[in-house]
A and B are shown apart, each in its own frame.
Chain A
Amino acid sequence: MATSAAPGTAIAREWRRFTPAQRLARFSVYLVLVAAVVWSARTVEIIPEFLYDAPEQMQDLLHRMWPIDFAHYPEGVHDALVDTLHIASLGTVLAVIMALPVGVLAARNVVPFAPVNYLAKLILVSSRSVNSLVWALLFVAIFGPGALAGTLAIAFRSIGFVGKLFGEALEESNAGTIEALEATGAPWLSVLAKGYWPQVEPAFWSIVLFRWDINVRESAVLGLVGAGGIGMALDTALNLFQWPRVATVLFAIFVVVIVAEVVVTQIRKRIL
């Protein structure tokens, strides 16, 4: 090499992946993680007596749940289960109707106007920052206990999820295609319908199915706060210490979640 020093006097070149500042930053992250674990372990206040007999208690509980009271299913669980599915499905449909326009407004490439993007994102974040159970409590307070409160809780929680993912899918669409349609003199709505929509359609169905799947699971617990569905059957059985019936409800939820999973997987396989 022309620029290197004479043989024998070459300085060994040092190589380090990170600069000292980066190493310090990485070390700090580890330190904070360890500190957080230690701190939470010290403040969580585990009562030793309860911890020691937990295996025993668990055994006892399982023992009381067995055998599962399947006879209770037709009269006490079935209708509530169907209610739960209705809450999940209707809630998802409502959420999609409300989330689509918000998702479009949140996508910076579709609506290149920052204040509107921020407003849409604010709506989506507010929807997501409130848990389904909290939404359910609010709607139970407004509409009284029942499936309506549950449906709206599911819908309002899902707007943020569906809208955010839909907006992000829009932002990832191919800009060249959009440019080509704009070059034909197409109005904004036509570009949306014929340029953006075909590109995000698979993502859209995937998001909706995924959210429905989550909503089936979430609507199962909404009944605990009085928002209808199978959670109410669970709540009653728990309050009355009818453990075999609790087992029936848990088993029914388990089966429905599995079935929902299978259905969603199959549909996704076919449409994508």
Chain B
Amino acid sequence: MAAPALHLRGLAMEYVRGKPVLRGIDLEVGSEGLTAIIGPSGTGKSTLIRCINRLVDPTAGEILFQGQDLARLRGEALRHARRRIGMVFQEYNLVERLSVMENVLSGRLGYVSPWKAWMRKYPREDIDRAFELLDLVGLSAFPNQRADSLSGGQRQRVGIARAVMQRPQLLLADEPTSSLDPKTSVEIMELMRDLGRSQSIPVMVNMHDVELARRFADRIVGMSGGTIVFDGPPAALSDEQLKGIYGGEGWLH
């Protein structure tokens, strides 16, 4: 593995004092490949992902991304760091009343001035790239359709296109397939993996479908009780280890 793109050191987070959600996470993520984070609900997977781009502020620790500690950034510097990190959400989080195209172009809001965004004067190359991405995610037929008229799978494709529109150097996804049916989930995971490969950027996905994680991840990180209890390739993830992550065994068979 090349030099790590992301290095978490002693990352800790407490929403309520004395009740840590993350207990000193140490994690290195290489410059390529899909890392799946699995674990039971409430174990801090979401918090971990959201700490990285500071949608949630960690209480302690370092988030080293391209040599910069994101945990210390504020204001403009934080905004500039966020431009380099794309994020995909469970509930898609599109602007429902705007068109597909405008939602994809929203990925450039960190670069385009507010006035130009308001006047819908996006640079030519952004519009070209948005069309390319719509082709890539299979939505080129309806750039002007409103986001609220799309199906769940289509919305998530728009969400992914918006994130990739940023030309990110890291792609985060917080339960991207949890609101989708099994077939669409597979398609969305394929899309995320392929985009990560074609853009040569690392992808971090937190998910609760172990089989889906096994199928698409290059590396699986298992969390339990706010700490990492497994870290390795999918092939190394045994039933024994799953028991360690989730507890119990009745659910396994």
Contact = CB atoms under 8 A, between A and B. Distances in A.
Interface of A: 174, 176-177, 179-187, 189-195, 198-199, 201-202
Contact of A185 (B83, B89, B94, B114): B83
Given A185-B83, A187-B114, A194-B117, A199 B93 contact: no
B117 A183 contact: no
Contact of B114 (A174, A182, A190, A199): A190
A185 B95 contact: no
Interface of B: 53, 55, 79-87, 89, 91, 93-98, 102, 106-110, 112-114, 117-118, 159, 162-163, 166
Contact of B55 (A182, A189, A198): A182
Given A184-B87, A184-B109, A198-B95, 17 more contacts: A176-B89, A176-B93, A177-B94, A180-B87, A182-B55, A184-B82, A184-B83, A184-B108, A184-B162, A185-B83, A187-B79, A187-B110, A190-B113, A190-B117, A192-B114, A194-B102, A194-B106
A187 B55 CA distance: 14
Contact of B96 (A177, A184, A189, A194): A177
B128 to A, nearest CB: 19
A145 B187 CA distance: 71
A199 B148 CA distance: 12
Contact of A186 (B81, B94, B110): B110
B40 to A, nearest CB: 23
A181 B106 contact: yes
A185 B117 CA distance: 14
A193 B118 contact: yes
Interface of chain A, helix or strand or loop or mixed?
helix
Contacts of B163: 184
Nearest to B119: A193
Contacts of A193: 114, 117-118
A245 B44 CA distance: 76
Contact of A198 (B81, B83, B89, B98): B98
B147 to A, nearest CB: 10
